[in-house]
Chain A
Amino acid sequence: MINEFIDLMKHELILCVILFLLLLIKIGSNDENSGRWHVMINILLFINLIVGFCCNVSGELFNGMFQSNELIQLEKNILNLGLLIISLQAHPYTRNHRHAPEFYILLLSSVLGMFFMLSSGHLLLFYIGLELSTIPLAALANFNLNKSASSEAGMKMIMSSAFSSALLLMGISMMYGTTGSLSFSEITLQLTGAPLQVFAFVMLFVGFAFKLSIVPFHFWTADVYEGAPVPMAAFLSVISKSAIAFVFVTVLYTVFESMVNVWYILLFITAVFTIGIGNLFAIRQQNIKRFLAFSSIAQVGFILVGISGGSQESEAAVIYFLLIYIFSNLGAFGVVNIVSSITGKESINDYKGFYKTNPALSWILTISLFSLAGIPPTAGFFGKLFLLTAGASTGNYLLIAIAAINMVVSMYYYLRIVKAMFMDANEHPIQKISFSLFPSIALIICIVGILLTGFSGDLYTYIYELSIGI
């Protein structure tokens, strides 16, 4: 009994242990920020990642409220990997911050919420996990306490997430009224497609759309990314988005599989708008964080195209793409983070002539942007290829054509930054930046991931075998 409990909840338990350890050490220590912190936290997170891989078991706890299987544990491991990379990257930012321990405590509690959300088999646990994963993020967006841009970002984040969770709760209450239960397995049995159920489902969809920043619910994204500290923006765009996308796929394919007609139309419309508007706005951005925000909106659009396929390939393609997306987006954010926390420059024009002074960082940013754009030798190409192939399995070639055209458009704005770094002249380029060991490890992990993930067919096969279709 107790063994089963520990095996199934090992991801959550070890995060809780780390959280309490950090809290106790924070309370007990007098020096507010020292170098020991960062070494210790990164070692703990590394142990967390390793422990996640051992003993995969599937089963359920608390009458099916908490469930776990090999796929969910794989998703949690992917999130743990992203968390470790972000923690390594955050070093130049947190090194001089007065409240560095709190930064990690909030970050870890948000990940804990995501784990509960991933494992939930009941709408109550799902809702609690969702809130636990978003409320600390709002506090984190406001982490530069004396910058007004940062508190504005925090305000926008908490307001929009509270509004979206109110809509989501309305959907949940209607779902409860029409099906008489809150557990996923019961809801699946009781779905009849009655109008009120469709309404409830649309409300749930809107709740997800807010968190995933699907157009037309994307307005908070760019503002929050610009105002928030860079590691936090990276966390929002990668970890938070991946977790919600994992849950989104699972919920659509298992709980709402009988409503495939409804969600296919919703996905079709929102995917077209999300890719299109994300791309159009990304073209005209001057701030690199805003640029990455809109590019991540466009990437979500591609994920929606993949989800709309509804087959086993779709789920595998989404998980595989998100793994690649973690590497490529964190590679880009890693460079932006180093530049922003050391020089304070965030405009795209500042990156002109970057190659002359910092060749290594420029190459890393270039490879990451190539991967985001989907240029062949990088993993991003394979990710997009699988997504579009999965989306094409429904026979709706209009959607695939729109997505493919938008991939070409996205080349333009990704290459614009590469051109600025390599070809444009600048009288005052960013100085040569020297950075510590932690961010270098993170960048190496990202680059190795980008270059190798695309060629490891075993990984895709492994994910494919775990996935389920409708």
Chain B
Amino acid sequence: MSEIPIEHIMMLSTALFFIGAYGFLTRRNMIAMLMSLELMLNSVNINFIVFNKYLFPDTIEGLGFTIFIIAIAAAEAAVAIAIIINLYRNTKNIDAEKADHLKH
């Protein structure tokens, strides 16, 4: 069984990262923005794992970091969703374009 070349996995993770960034900047629904953020974080996870497996197989630093990223992303999403729910209670919408009262 031949291994997948590292370049292919790197291409996947880079593509995933920029799809996430594009989605974050263009999506207007806040839940969809959060999903795009998760894409970006997952691409970073792929990066860590692939570097660890292909380049530095005798350590586990990359794998450990991945677990922390997943845990912290969950905490971040929990706070973000709580804030979005609160915003929805106050304004009855979760459209990022319409949350524009704080200007000038």
Chain A positions within 8 Å of B, measured between CB atoms, are 123-124, 127-128, 131, 135, 138-139, 142, 145-149, 151-156, 158-159, 162-163, 165-166, 169-170, 172-174, 176-177, 180-182, 222-223, 226-227, 286, 290
B residues 24-76 near A (Cβ < 8 Å) are 24, 30, 33-34, 37, 40-41, 43-44, 47-48, 51, 55-56, 59, 61-62, 64-65, 68-69, 72, 75-76
Select from chain A the residue with minimum beta-carbon distance to B99: A152
Q: Which residue of A lies closest to B78 (CB)?
A: A135
On chain B, the residues within 8 Å of A158 by CB distance are 76, 79-80, 83
Residues of B within 8 A of A223 (CB): 102-103
Query: Using a Cβ cutoff of 8 Å, how many contacts connect chains A and B?
Result: 117
The contact of A170 among B24, B44, B104, by CB within 8 Å, is B44
Closest to A290 in B: B104
Chain A residue at smallest Cβ distance from B90:
A148
Contacts of A163 in B (CB 8 A): 24, 37, 40
| Nearest CB in chain B to that of A130: its residue | B72
Bound form: Cα–Cα A153–B100 in Å: 10
Report the bound CA distance from A223 to B91 in whole Å.
17
CA distance in complex: A142, B79 (Å): 10
CA distance A154 to B83 in the complex (A): 7
Chain A interface helix/strand/loop/mixed = helix
Q: How many residues of chain B have a CB within 8 Å of chain A?
A: 42
Task: Determine if A138 and B20 form an interchain contact, defined as CB atoms under 8 angstroms apart.
Answer: no
Q: How far is the CB of B58 from chain A (nearest CB, A)?
A: 10
Residues of B within 8 A of A290 (CB): 104
CB-CB under 8 A from B82, the residues of chain A are: 139
On chain B, the residues within 8 Å of A135 by CB distance are: 75-76, 79
> Judging by beta carbons under 8 Å apart, are A173 and B47 in contact?
yes
Interface presence of B87 (CB below 8 A)? yes
Q: How far is the CA of A268 from the CA of B30 in the complex (A)?
A: 35
Q: Is A145 a contact partner of B86 (Cβ separation < 8 A)?
A: yes
A131 and B75 contact, CB distance less than 8 A: yes
The answer on a CB contact under 8 Å between A162 and B76 is yes
The distance in angstroms between the C-alpha atoms of A223 and B55, with both chains bound, is: 44
Known: A139-B83, A147-B90. A127 touches B37 (CB 8 A): no
